[in-house]
Amino acid sequence: MVATLVTPASPATTSSADAPAPSVSVLLTGQPAAAQVWQGKQRRGTLGSALRLPRSSQPLILLIKSPGFVDRQVQLVPTEDQQLEVRLSRKQGFVGSRSAHDLEY
């Protein structure tokens, strides 16, 4: 007689291939292209560059700002890779980086 060792089935485990990545990619596009992206006091990049953010089900707020434009807050929930378009409005009466050559006398 041959004895057969029966091993109880192990509980199902999630392989690392099935687990979601710990971070997501958020691509912010829009105008002006050089606008800076801030999260709290930390500069995260500029419009047109992908941000790596920790995956979360909690909303977070990004601040988009550029000289001569009205700052804009964007709220998102980083549960998956995503793309957002952001357009800033010009500040009223902002002359910007014009040179004396551009001014009328």
CATH label of the domain that carries residue 48? 2.60.40.1120
Q: What is the pLDDT of residue 7?
A: 44
pTM confidence score: 0.69
Please report whether residue 97 resides in a domain: no
Q: For residue 86, is pLDDT > 90?
A: yes
Q: How many domains does the chain have?
A: 1
Structure-token pair, residue 101: 């050559």
Lowest mean pLDDT among 11-20, 52-61, 62-71: 11-20
| Cα of 55 vs its chain's centroid, Å | 11
Using DSSP, state whether 72 is helix, strand or coil.
strand
Q: What is the pLDDT of residue 21?
A: 84
Q: What is the pLDDT of residue 92?
A: 87
Which residue type, as a one-letter code, is found at position 25?
S
Q: Which residues form the domain of 52?
A: 23-85
